[in-house]
Structure 1
Amino acid sequence: MSGELDRPLQVEMLAASLRADSVDVKGFLEALANKLQGALPNQTSVTRHSSLFSREHPVREIVIALGDNQYRIARERQGPLMASRAKVVRGIVLKTDQIPMEQWIEELAEGLALEAARSSQALAALEKFLL
């Protein structure tokens, strides 16, 4: 995602990276959580299922704050993935919309590209995201 790449290509590369892991739900959530926490730790929150006697603690929810939007993806036990976007102003959620997974991926990729355009630190982190 160096300076030679234009923004539409950056967005498509990010979206492709997000889609690459989406076939296996459990693996997708784990990979996405690791990538987002590694790239933008201050903007990413990951919640895991916890059980007293279980060694595994799979990802239950990922929330990433980008500008005025908060993107959430969650899975309750063995259920389907639920993707949503919330509008947040001064820490208050004004509106939350459930959106299709493909739209969630596209919007998240767009938000990540915008974040990279605003900050050289975010750009460096998102370059790692694509690896």
Structure 2
Amino acid sequence: MSDSFEEQQVIKLGVAGALSREFAADQTQFLNLIAETLKKAFPAETNVLTKGLFTKKTVGFELMLGDCKYRLEQMGSRLEATKAKIVRGIALKTDSIPVEQCLSELSEQLEAKAQQSGVDRAALARLLGLD
């Protein structure tokens, strides 16, 4: 299934715009929203990080895309992002990256994933509310 250039641009702008709008509004609420949304859209690739014994509080998420694992986690009053290079299940290199860079790279990776598969395209459309 081939999308037109305009449709691909809408998806690209939709992902980046949705992520940056939510991040700017409220970081804690953003983290909860994106973690749960990614878990619903890409359950096999997403691990939601929680803490608390009786009341689980979302503190972050990990998303495996290709050979990279992205992690966004609440650390006190700020968000911290890391990117790890994974080879055969082992993290060879983990770098701290700015949150904005993490969101940008996630946007690009999710767009590429959607272009490769109709199932992933549908999941991304649900993530953006375009379905």
TM-score over 0.5 for the pair = yes
Residues 96-107 of structure 1 aligned to structure 2 (within 5 Å) = 96-107=94-105
C-alpha separation between the residues in 1 aligned to 2:18 and 2:96?
22
- Structure 2: give runs of 5+ residues left out of the alignment: none
Does the residue aligned with 1:115 lie in a helix, a strand or coil? helix
Shift of 1:6: 5.5
Q: Is the 8 A contact 1:26 1:58 kept in 2?
A: no
The correspondence for 1:27, drawn from 17, 25, 29, is 29
Map of 1:3 onto structure 2: 3
Map of 2:128 onto structure 1: 130
Does the residue aligned with 1:21 lie in a helix, a strand or coil? helix
Shift of 1:32: 0.3
Shift of 1:7: 4.3
Q: Deviations over 1:28-74 (max 9, x none)?
A: 0111012101110100000112144xx4x321120000001111000
C-alpha separation between the residues in 2 aligned to 1:96 and 1:8?
31
* TM-score, scaled relative to structure 2: 0.87
Residues 84-99 of structure 1 aligned to structure 2 (within 5 Å) = 84-99=82-97
Between Structure 1 and Structure 2, how many residues are aligned? 126
Instruction: Please state which structure has a larger fraction of its residues in helix.
Output: 2
- Quote the RMSD (CA, aligned, Å): 1.7
The correspondence for 2:48, drawn from 43, 46, 49, is 46
Q: Deviations over 1:9-44 (max 9, x none)?
A: 433321111112113122101110121011101000
- Structure 1: give runs of 5+ residues left out of the alignment: none
Does the residue aligned with 1:47 lie in a helix, a strand or coil? strand
Instruction: Quote the sequence identity (%).
Output: 34
